[in-house]
Amino acid sequence: MAKALLPLALLLAGCATSAPPAARCEMASADRAWLEGALSHWQVAEEQWLGLASAPLPQVVAIDAACIYTLPRGQVELAEAVRHDGAMIDLGEIKLPLGPISFADGSGRFVMSLPSVWRTAGVSSEIDFDTFLEGVMLHEIMHTRQAALATAALDEIERQHPGMRISDDLVQDTFEGDTAYVALYETERDKLFAAASAPDDETARALAAEALGLMRERRAMFFHGDRAFYSELEDVFLTMEGMGQYMMWRHFSTQSGISSELALQETLSGEYWTQNEGLALFLVLDRLLPDWRERAFRQPDWRAINLLAAAEG
């Protein structure tokens, strides 16, 4: 979810002769309470909102201003802690500046900085901040249940296109300066949102069919030659990011005091194409395709265009 990692410099002063013993890592009580509650939300959401059988939590890595906590199977009471240098987070093959971090990697590991770090960096929300971060966590930890399907697909794309930087923003980075492309994308996205909020299912299905036609037209026009693989790439990330955004939106929508308008607004807090169109697509699926949850976790149904085509029918 957090696309920009906001660095936070916390430089530790040392003694010229002998350094004092490192302070013991201890997670702040507010951070610990949030983490335990957020992980519990996920375990409920994966069953109730996704229809998945409960699975053990993944390895969770939590980060505060001083320490990195590794939680085997997401068990806070089993956390192993090491101090970091206050500026960079060393996760072995991944090194990141300290700041708002939330991601799942291909191994199924989930990494997130704790609320105290996000607050220090100045991140805010129009809804309760702990609730907002729970939504961020639900989006990203969602990817740990998609890891087998998505990693296999992305590994194959990378094998066929060595050296290319594969990311969920590759299509956007390539075409965001092309006004003709952007116009097609925005029309398609808006058709999906209109389908999700249509007054009746017949209208919703017709709008979804129009959006699917526009998607196919756009891909035929722009995804060819050495960019032909963009269709597959977009499908993978529309599915991943769309489901993540759906989880965030669903969480906000179930909280008392948060209107449907505010829930949507806070979910669409960025300008990321795969997240915004992906959310619209899954709102349509949630309305028109009762078994989308089952389809979204099995081959070969799981890709976005296959799911949308099933909803149209």
% of the chain residues with pLDDT over 70:
93
**20-29, 60-69, 149-158: range with lowest mean pLDDT:** 20-29
* Between residues 172 and 300, the one the model is more confident about: 172
Cβ atoms 302, 294 nearer than 8 A? no
What is the per-residue pLDDT across 167-218, written as a single tens digit (0 to 9) for each? 999 999 999 999 999 999 999 999 999 999 999 999 999 999 999 999 999 9
d(CA 241, CA 268): 12
Model confidence band, residue 313 (pLDDT cutoffs 50, 70, 90): confident
The residues pairing with 103 across neighbouring beta strands, listed in sequence order, are: 111
The structure tokens listed for 270 are: 């960025």
Cα separation, 236 vs 137, in Å, equals: 20
Q: Identity (one letter) of the amino acid at 183?
A: A
pLDDT of residue 22: 54
- Enter the pTM of the model: 0.89
Q: Which is nearest to 50 in space by CA: 126, 144, 158, 114? A: 144
Count other C-beta atoms under 10 Å from residue 184's C-beta. 19
Contact assessment for residue 118 and residue 42, using Cβ atoms and an 8 Å cutoff: no
Sheet architecture: strand order including 67-71: 80-83, 67-71, 60-63, 110-113, 102-104
Inform me whether the pLDDT recorded for 14 exceeds 70. no
Q: Which carries the bigger pLDDT value, residue 267 or residue 19?
A: 267
Over the chain, what is the mean pLDDT?
90
pLDDT at 298 exceeding the cut of 90: no
- Residue-wise pLDDT for 232-244, tens only, equals 999 999 999 999 9
Tokens representing 150 are 């998505």
What is residue 74's DSSP assignment?
G
Q: How far apart are CA 49 and CA 42, in angstroms?
A: 10
Segment 285-313 shows an average pLDDT of 90
pLDDT at residue number 9: 28
User: What confidence tens digit (pLDDT) does each residue in 129-156 have?
Assistant: 999 999 999 999 999 998 888 888 999 9
Task: Answer yes or no: are the C-beta atoms of 63 and 114 closer than 8 Å.
Answer: yes
Structure tokens at 194: 């209109």
Angle between helices 129-142 and 260-267 (to 10 degrees): 60
